[in-house]
Amino acid sequence: MSDASLRDKRVIITGAASGLGRALSVMAVEQGAHVALMDINASGLEETVGMLGDATVVSIVADISDWNSVEAGVKEAVSGLGGLDAVCNVAGWDEPGRFWEQPLDFWEKIIAINLWGTLYMTRATVPILMEQGAGTIVNVASDAGRVGSKGETVYAAAKGGVMALTKSLAREMAPYSVTVNCVCPGPMMTPLLQAEMESTPKLIEKLVRAIPLRRVGQPEDVAALITFLASDAANYMTGQVISVSGGLTMVG
């Protein structure tokens, strides 16, 4: 039976300085993975590394919205890990607001981080996985991209692109035995949501009432699915988009 853990897997995780990326980093190391952590936030990245004990960790400060930074970061990661088995594209960013009031440079930032970042990371890593004829990519999109989200129109568009990327790339990579899947978190207790709650105190109450399981997700809820998809136990799954939302979104 295939191992559902990440034991001895060499894994790149983006967005590792906080939130879901940090939770995934901790969970992957607990399962025995060797990890390369990437984030633009140097101090947050250092905090995450400090939580990982004696594990094999390569820490890389990189801007995923910049191709040169990504290319250099991936080379450093693969060199430090001695190879590559899985890529987890977790990094993302948003700041809700009215579509028609947001300046164009804000849109560009949203798309650069949430879509171009995933494209860059994928472009930098797929040649390695293709050459060895094995490996997996797990992208993180959002339920905003599946069903829409008020105040997150451009973010939803970018995440919709990540889902489309996942499906098309899965078809291209299948002949090389490389799988590509996508996780769509629903409302999750991250620094971004906590910041929203400060400006909109009743937001959490409304969310909880709308979620069938009656709680907002924790990063660990989503990290558990990502580790499964990156493991050998999921090696017959590819091109799938899966929500983790407490039942808030039920998409057929």
Catalytic residues: 155
| Complete DSSP assignment for 111-131 | HIIIIIHHHHHHHHHHHHHHH
Rg (CA), the chain: 17
Please state, in angstroms and rounded to a whole number, the distance separating the CA atoms of residues 242 and 229: 10
Which H or E run includes 61? strand 57-61
Q: What is the DSSP letter of 218?
A: P
Strand partners, 38: 14, 60
Find tokens 């983790």 and name the residue.
Answer: 244
Per the rule left: phi > 0, alpha: psi between -120 and 50, beta: everything else, 19 is left
Coil, helix or strand for 10?
strand
Closest residue by Cα to residue 141 from 193, 95, 185? 185
Per the rule left: phi > 0, alpha: psi between -120 and 50, beta: everything else, 124 is alpha
